[in-house]
Amino acid sequence: MKIAVIGTGNMGSGFARAFASSGVDVVIGHRDPAKAASLAAEVGATVEGGGTAAAVKLADIVLLAVPYQSVASVLGEAGDLTGKILIDISNPITADYKELLLGHTTSAAEEIQKAASGAHVVKAFNTIFAGLLSPEARAGKTLQVFVAGDDADATAKVRELAEKLSFEAINAGPLSNSRFLEPIGEMNIHFGFFLGMGPTVAPAWIRV
Ligand SMILES: NC(=O)c1ccc[n+]([C@@H]2O[C@H](COP(=O)([O-])OP(=O)(O)OC[C@H]3O[C@@H](n4cnc5c(N)ncnc54)[C@H](OP(=O)(O)O)[C@@H]3O)[C@@H](O)[C@H]2O)c1
């Protein structure tokens, strides 16, 4: 199982490091292949980096670590995604981080599924801040990753991937439940950045 991480920012670099150190085969893609190659060299000798389409071609799973507003252009340059698992980690938010751009009757994940109809889109990781992607950063705490999608095999594989990064993977139902997961991600941003808790918080579902 090879995963292509598209994007070299906070989440892209965080995932690249976390996957590489957890033994997951990873390739990094970016519209600027030199940027991906430089992150790959920093992450580890076995990690490759290149253009978006080149990275996608090598992988079974593609993780989009770009802003929701950039997803359409990234999909445009990604090449054939038919049959691939496409992980959407986005919180579709405004530039000031304070509002959602869409919701109630759709979600970023559902819009991405419409745009990449041959892929199996799975929503995951949108409630995890970049600084908590590495297991070492979690101070011994087990965080939950909510995984929503319509393809049973694809969601099982993404839960397995989350578990490889030492998260507790929670089945969050069909892709349309992203309509509820994305507001939770936005609330986490408010707790982290606007309500004083800092970007080391994460939501959890507690069974009593
Ligand atoms: N940061 C978090 O803690 C966090 C937590 C949960 C979910 N998320 C989600 O994760 C995603 C990435 O967030 P981030 O914090 O990693 O953002 P970021 O640090 O700003 O990085 C964004 C990446 O996307 C690339 N990019 C931007 N526009 C692009 C375009 N049109 N075509 C191709 N690549 C483009 C950027 O490339 P350049 O550097 O060249 O512009 C950069 O590599 C977002 O959807 C966000 O909602 C973030």
CB-based contacts of 39: which residues, under 8 Å, 6+ apart?
A: 8, 12, 13, 16, 28, 30, 49
The overall average pLDDT reported for the chain is 97
Residue-wise pLDDT tens digits, 54-84: 999 999 999 999 999 999 999 999 999 999 9
Q: Where are the domains of the chain?
A: 2-194
Pocket test for ligand 1, best of 5, 6, 11, 42 (most atoms within 8 A of CB): 11
Tokens in use for 117? 């109809």
Pocket of ligand 1 (CB under 6 A): 7-12, 30-31, 65-68, 70, 73-74, 89-91, 126, 128-130
Centre of ligand 1 to C-alpha 208, Å, is: 36
2-194 CATH pick, 3.40.190.10, 2.40.30.10, 3.40.50.720, 3.40.50.300: 3.40.50.720
**Separation CA 173–CA 188 (nearest Å):** 20
pLDDT of residue 46 exceeding 90? no
For the question of whether the overall pTM of this predicted structure is more than 0.75, the answer is yes
Pocket test for ligand 1, best of 5, 6, 10 (most atoms within 8 A of CB): 10
**Separation CA 24–CA 34 (nearest Å):** 22
What pLDDT does 14 receive?
98
What pLDDT does 45 receive?
76
Centre of ligand 1 to C-alpha 29, Å, is: 12
Residue-wise pLDDT tens digits, 136-174: 999 999 999 999 999 999 999 999 999 999 999 999 999
